Homo-oligomer: A and B are copies of this chain.
Amino acid sequence: MVSQEMYRLGANRSCIRDLFEYGLKKAAEIGKENVYDYSLGNPSVPAPEQVNETIRDLSLGDSLALHGYTPAPGAMDAREAVAQDLTARFGMPIAGADIFFHCGAAPALVSVLRALAVDGSEVITPAPFFPEYRVFSEGAGHKFVVIPAEEKTFQIDPEAFRSAVNEHTQAIILNSPNNPSGVVYSEETLKAIAAILEEKEAEYGHPIYIIADEPYRELVYEGLKVPFIPNLYRNTVVCYSWSKSLSLPGERIGYVCIPQQTEDHDALFAAMAGAARAAGHVCAPSLQQQIVRHCVGIMPNIEAYDRNRKLLYEKLTEYGYSCVKPQGAFYMFVKAPGGDAKAFSDAAKELNLLVVPGADFGCPGFFRLSTCVSYDMIVRSLPAFEQAIRKFC
């Protein structure tokens, strides 16, 4: 007498969570220092000190204002601070009214997907992709279409993309810097995608939106710039979260930005707000809205993540692993020795090395490492990586 679809979603836990909990149990048995857990993408760099200072300052102010309801899209001062930051950084006029705060990027994405769900609609994403995209898209009522991975570079093959688009396509989810590959889609890739979409929009006579899911935008290395997709393609909606950039993943603060240039801007904004309302969204946490208002310009300290990335990339390739060098985020997506990532992950588990097999990301031949871990753990884990590959070569 309960919904079987909801039961299935609740009872079948993700293999990431399963591995993580296995790691906790194992650590209790053999000591935390002997388990090399690369499962979860939980930031290992604390929030900038300004965040906690802001919290203390705010807690001394007007309690009713601080903890009271805000309008559903958020407090206008906070929305405007975010809009001004975007405008200054990317040269596109964004207004406070184009921003809608959500409890993180996940419900932001869900609201946009539900707003775009019509009879027979489809949503496309290139592999590898964050596994919840499937849950969110199918849950909203879309057919979820995956473009096979371009495994040499993890960019997007324009011809594979073109053949996935049809008149039912409502949106493309792009996640750059990408979880799990760490790749940043190049301007060249994005321009090719934009050109195809413009052609298809004209052919089918309706907008096709890019949903740019960008929680890792500020986590890029070697001075690389992540293209702001609304500058390359008119019908782009941006979903964002401060989970990674301000290390606030538990606090659930993010937004949807629908730039004024977007076709059907007002209808799309209203439908997204309606989807949020139907999900029981009242407002994003009010204290967190004020934190991002005051801290929106603060860039994360990515030094530790970069150091991890360099060490792991150097050592793993030295041992014979094959991997596209990540340009952003805090993941590495490594080719599984032997070709079967599930088998490799199981073998690695026996060495207390926890890596996530790539099937749920749309790439069963790869495994993911979350590199937001301690440098010391990486150093301690290296012999296990060296041993694991030997089992398959």
Which A residues have a C-beta under 8 Å from some C-beta of B?
1-3, 5-11, 40, 42-44, 46-47, 51-52, 55-56, 59-60, 63-64, 66-70, 102-104, 106-111, 114-118, 132, 135-136, 139, 170, 206-207, 247-252, 264, 267-289
The residue that A56 contacts in the complex, of B7, B59, B269, B284, with Cβ under 8 A, is B59
Contact B271 A7 (CB under 8 A): yes
Contact A6 B287 (CB under 8 A): no
Q: Smallest CB-CB separation from A21: which chain B residue?
A: B71
Q: Smallest CB-CB separation from A110: which chain B residue?
A: B280
Contact B283 A252 (CB under 8 A): yes
Contact A270 B104 (CB under 8 A): no
Ordered by A's residue number, 24 sampled pairs between the chains whose C-beta atoms are within 8 Å are: A1-B207, A3-B116, A3-B274, A3-B275, A6-B271, A9-B278, A10-B277, A46-B64, A52-B60, A56-B56, A59-B59, A67-B251, A68-B250, A69-B249, A69-B250, A70-B250, A103-B280, A107-B280, A110-B278, A110-B280, A132-B277, A250-B285, A252-B284, A285-B285
The residue that A1 contacts in the complex, of B42, B264, B280, B286, with Cβ under 8 A, is B264
List of B residues within 8 angstroms of A281 by Cβ: 103, 106-107
Dominant SS among interface residues on chain A: helix
Contact A6 B135 (CB under 8 A): no
Contact B47 A52 (CB under 8 A): no
Contact A43 B64 (CB under 8 A): yes
Contact B67 A248 (CB under 8 A): yes
> Which 4 A-B residue pairings sit nearest by Cβ, starting from the closest?
A250-B286, A10-B274, A9-B274, A106-B280
List of B residues within 8 angstroms of A60 by Cβ: 52, 56
Q: Shortest CB–CB separation between residue A300 and chain B, in angstroms?
A: 13
Q: Shortest CB–CB separation between residue A254 and chain B, in angstroms?
A: 10
Knowing A250-B68, A250-B286, A278-B139, say if A115 contacts B59 (CB, 8 Å): no
The residue that A287 contacts in the complex, of B68, B114, B273, B287, with Cβ under 8 A, is B287
Q: Shortest CB–CB separation between residue A213 and chain B, in angstroms?
A: 11
In whole angstroms, what is the CA distance A107 to B280 when docked?
4
Question: Most B CB atoms within 10 A — which of A47, A111, A268, A275?
Answer: A275
List of B residues within 8 angstroms of A118 by Cβ: 1-3
List of B residues within 8 angstroms of A109 by Cβ: 280
Contact B282 A104 (CB under 8 A): yes
List of B residues within 8 angstroms of A289 by Cβ: 250
List of B residues within 8 angstroms of A207 by Cβ: 1
In whole angstroms, what is the CA distance A273 to B9 when docked?
8
Knowing A67-B47, A247-B67, say if A252 contacts B10 (CB, 8 Å): no
The residue that A10 contacts in the complex, of B1, B139, B275, B285, with Cβ under 8 A, is B275
Contact A277 B9 (CB under 8 A): yes
In whole angstroms, what is the CA distance A118 to B5 when docked?
10
In whole angstroms, what is the CA distance A273 to B3 when docked?
12
List of B residues within 8 angstroms of A106 by Cβ: 280-282
Q: Smallest CB-CB separation from A2: which chain B residue?
A: B271
The residue that A250 contacts in the complex, of B111, B269, B283, with Cβ under 8 A, is B283
